[in-house]
């Protein structure tokens, strides 16, 4: 009798509707606050996933750092507490250090250069992430990082005074050492604690993009912006392969296509909002400080003398750095990129 009952149960399971077999809720973390541009992109992707799967795959978003800092999110994905995350290259570098090459300041001069190099290296980066158990849903960026501070900063020397303490990601030991070696006063802080750290005076300067400074309202406590694009802030939305493979293979391409379309829309929106974010902050007291050419040269010299050697010695593999430089050279020497008077 027991054997017959077991067979009947097994038969019922086999013939269950597909909706009952693979219903999945994807838990996804992000530092982006609820209602922000990045949050809406995840929400819209989730709606599309629900639509193409008739409600079988849903996304539950944990915004605003409630799931912890980016390294915390990666750790939680590895143990199954989270399934996915929208993170910057800082978080991604805890999985593959090669990605840190894109964070090196003053390498890229434009979005066009960034896109060209990233497209060239994306297959290799995705393969490396795949070997660590992660799938890239889409690549993205958050604008160009600028220096924000409570006191004006134009030249590097302006940031070296004892009362200027600059934010460094908690756990970014080599970046901390590089800033320290250059004569600055870095302080490691978890990203969700930046606002409070500005309030208490633990830090009073940080580098981030205008849109992030506006979204988190950090600029309200550091109303001076150095009008100098230091580096693009890049990242990706990733999911664990373990969770991804729980979704039927025939459904996966539809979900990936929806994710990539969401990523492209997000990228265009973010890039269009860079300047607009500055204008909004200026209406609320932000002071944008022009940077003369001699100051730019000082930043470049300081970066190459102190930051690059530390990063290349301990964090960024030499081969990936050389690849980036090679692709940049390839892009910059293309006929379409030469000045029209040549």
Q: What is the pTM assigned to this prediction?
A: 0.85
Alpha-carbon dihedral angle through residues 106, 230, 87, 262, given to the nearest 10 degrees = -90
End-to-end CA distance of the chain: 89
Task: Find the length of the chain.
Answer: 342
Determine contact, residues 214/274, Cβ cutoff 8 Å: no
CB 267 within 8 A of CB 141: yes
CA 171 to chain centre: 16
Domain spanning 11-334: CATH 3.30.465.10: no
Q: Which are the contacts of 170, defined by CB distance < 8 A and separation ≥ 6?
A: 69, 71, 188, 189, 190, 191
Residue 287 near residue 224 (C-beta atoms within 8 A): yes
CB 319 within 8 A of CB 313: no
List the beta bridge partners of residue 91. Answer: none
pLDDT score for 178:
83
Q: List CB contacts of 91: < 8 A, sequence separation 6 or more.
A: 69, 70, 71, 73, 74, 85, 235
The three-class DSSP label of residue 293 is: helix
- From first to last of its 342 residues, the chain has per-residue pLDDT tens of 555 444 444 444 444 444 444 688 999 999 999 988 899 999 999 999 999 999 999 999 999 999 999 999 999 999 999 999 999 998 999 999 888 888 888 899 999 999 999 999 999 999 999 999 999 999 988 899 999 999 999 999 999 987 899 999 888 777 888 888 888 999 999 888 999 999 999 999 999 999 999 989 999 999 999 998 889 999 999 999 999 999 999 999 999 999 999 999 999 999 888 889 999 999 999 999 999 999 999 999 988 888 888 778 777 788 888 999 999 999 999 876 544 434
67, 82 contact by CB (below 8 A) = yes
């Amino acid at each position: 009798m027991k054997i017959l009952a077991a067979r009947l149960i097994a038969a019922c399971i086999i013939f269950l509707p597909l909706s009952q077999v693979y219903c999945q809720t994807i838990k996804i973390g992000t530092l982006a606050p609820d209602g922000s541009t990045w949050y809406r992109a995840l929400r819209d992707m989730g709606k599309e996933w629900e639509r193409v799967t008739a409600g079988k795959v849903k996304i539950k978003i944990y915004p605003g750092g409630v799931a912890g800092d980016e390294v915390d999110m990666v750790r939680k994905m590895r143990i199954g507490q989270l399934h996915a995350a929208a993170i910057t290259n800082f978080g991604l570098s805890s999985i593959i250090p090669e990605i840190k090459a894109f964070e090196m300041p003053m390498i890229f001069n434009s979005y066009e250069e960034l896109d060209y190099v990233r497209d060239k290296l994306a297959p290799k980066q995705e393969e490396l992430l795949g070997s660590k158990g992660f799938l890239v849903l889409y690549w993205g960026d958050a604008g160009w990082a600028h220096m924000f501070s409570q006191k004006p900063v134009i030249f590097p020397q302006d940031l070296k005074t004892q009362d200027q303490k600059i934010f460094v990601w908690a756990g970014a030991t080599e970046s901390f050492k590089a800033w320290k070696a250059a004569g600055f006063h870095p302080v490691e802080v978890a990203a969700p604690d930046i606002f409070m750290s500005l309030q208490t005076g633990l830090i009073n300067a940080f580098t981030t993009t205008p849109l992030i400074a506006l979204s988190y309202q950090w600029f309200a406590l550091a109303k001076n912006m150095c009008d100098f694009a230091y580096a693009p802030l890049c990242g990706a939305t990733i999911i664990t392969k373990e969770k991804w493979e729980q979704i039927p293979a025939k459904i996966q391409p539809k979900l990936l296509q929806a994710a990539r379309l969401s990523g492209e829309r997000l990228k265009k929106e973010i890039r269009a909002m860079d300047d607009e974010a500055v204008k909004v902050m200026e209406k609320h007291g932000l002071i944008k400080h022009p940077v003369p050419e001699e100051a730019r040269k000082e930043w470049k010299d300081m970066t190459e003398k102190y930051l690059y050697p530390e990063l290349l010695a301990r964090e960024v593999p030499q081969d990936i750095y050389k690849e980036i430089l090679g692709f940049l050279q390839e892009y910059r020497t293309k006929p379409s990129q030469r000045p029209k008077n040549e």
